């Protein structure tokens, strides 16, 4: 469950583009230029300044706010998870206090719903592969 929690936090922070929490640093962008040859992900040099272009897998500000508002309006009647709306802070657009069961529910059920119309198809497919991987692990653990 801790691996799933770490995976959830990293993927959520990258897609939502949480300042200071993404794994995308300038060094990574330099490596992309060397090894991946993706022009849309390379650093842009303007005089003495260096800028990063917005990644295709990061949501726009309006979509980020929509995700947080949607999370704030959720309600689980079956008690599978803690009160997720309580964990959402709309002032600084962050999730606080997510525990492993919360991350598990988010990874298994909410990610396909929340990112359905917000992300490009190839990014959704990659996230779905990760979700299916964790579903398979969880279902195999229950069978043994």
CA–CA distance, 48 with 80 (Å, rounded to integer): 52
Q: pTM of the predicted model, to two decimals?
A: 0.74
- Summarize pLDDT for 93-139 with one digit per residue, the tens: 888 888 888 888 888 888 888 888 888 888 889 888 988 888 888 77
Torsion angles phi and psi, residue 98, rounded to 5: -70, 125
CA–CA distance, 130 with 89 (Å, rounded to integer): 26
- Summarize pLDDT for 32-82 with one digit per residue, the tens: 777 776 766 777 777 887 777 777 778 888 988 888 898 888 877 766 666
Domain boundaries, the chain: 2-17+59-143, 21-54
Residue whose pair of structure tokens reads 């272009």 in the numeric block: 53
What's residue 44's pLDDT?
Answer: 73
| Cβ atoms of residues 81 and 102 within 8 Å | yes
Give me 112's structure tokens. 């396909």
What's residue 115's pLDDT?
Answer: 83
| Cβ atoms of residues 11 and 133 within 8 Å | no
Contacts with 12 (C-beta within 8 Å, 6 or more apart), sequence order: 18, 95, 106
- Summarize pLDDT for 4-43 with one digit per residue, the tens: 888 888 888 878 877 766 666 667 777 777 777 676 677 7
């Amino acid at each position: 469950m801790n691996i799933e929690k770490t995976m959830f936090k990293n993927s959520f922070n990258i897609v939502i583009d949480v300042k200071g929490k993404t794994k995308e640093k300038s060094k990574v962008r330099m490596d992309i230029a060397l090894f991946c040859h993706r022009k849309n992900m390379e650093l842009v040099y303007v005089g003495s300044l260096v800028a990063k272009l917005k990644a295709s897998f990061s949501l726009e500000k309006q979509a980020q706010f929509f995700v947080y508002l949607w999370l704030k309006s959720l309600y689980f009647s079956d008690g599978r998870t803690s009160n997720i709306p309580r964990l959402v802070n709309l002032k600084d657009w962050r999730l606080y206090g997510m525990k492993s069961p919360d991350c598990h529910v988010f990874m298994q059920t909410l990610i396909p719903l929340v990112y359905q119309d917000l992300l490009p198809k190839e990014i959704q497919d990659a996230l779905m592969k990760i979700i299916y991987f964790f579903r398979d692990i969880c279902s195999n653990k229950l069978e043994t």
